[in-house]
Amino acid sequence: MTQRRLLLLNGPNLNLLGTRQPEIYGATTLAQIEQQVAATAAEHGLDLRAVQSNHEGALIDAIHAARADCAGIIINPGGYSHTSVAIPDALAAVELPVVEVHLSNVHRREPFRHHSYVSAVAEVVIAGAGPLGYRFAVAHLAGRLS
């Protein structure tokens, strides 16, 4: 049976959205983003599983679990984008389509944010669209699955 669920995965410090550097990341909380993304997914007939963790291993476990019951992964790896080899390894291992999202335009920021290890395994990379970026990601995956 074709899976109709997406995994929305947010990495470290994204639980603080709404109060974390709002001049960079905006005022929308993660709970609000998850609600909006679930609503967009529902419009496309898709379920959403939303997971946030500050721990690299927990993010990897969620990626592995997605192999059993998800059709695609939307991930904002936060700071791990720029440091982790294990997260892109996990994404490559599960062989699901991946959209990488960054709220901020990382390319306008410090040089260490310009490289993401995850981008090499992502089908699409969205940066700088704020919370809307996650909904663009749903639209991409929904189109791909239809």
- Binds ligand DQA (CB under 6 A): choice among 3, 4, 5, 13: 13
| Alpha-carbon distance values, 32 to 82, 87, 135 (Å) | 26, 25, 12
63 contacts ligand DQA (rule: CB under 6 A): no
DSSP label at residue 121: G
| Alpha-carbon distance values, 42 to 24, 31, 133 (Å) | 29, 16, 17
3-state class of 63 per DSSP?
A: helix
- Binds ligand DQA (CB under 6 A): choice among 4, 5, 44, 113: 113
Catalytic residue among 80, 102, 117, 134: 102
| Alpha-carbon distance values, 61 to 48, 73, 95, 98 (Å) | 17, 13, 15, 16
Q: Which residue lies nearer to ligand DQA by CB, 71 or 126?
A: 126
Binding to ligand DQA (CB under 6 A): which residues in 79-108?
79, 81, 102-104, 106
18 contacts ligand DQA (rule: CB under 6 A): no
Which residues are annotated binding-site positions?
76, 82, 89, 103-104, 113
Residues binding ligand DQA (CB under 6 A): 13, 76, 78-79, 81, 102-104, 106, 113
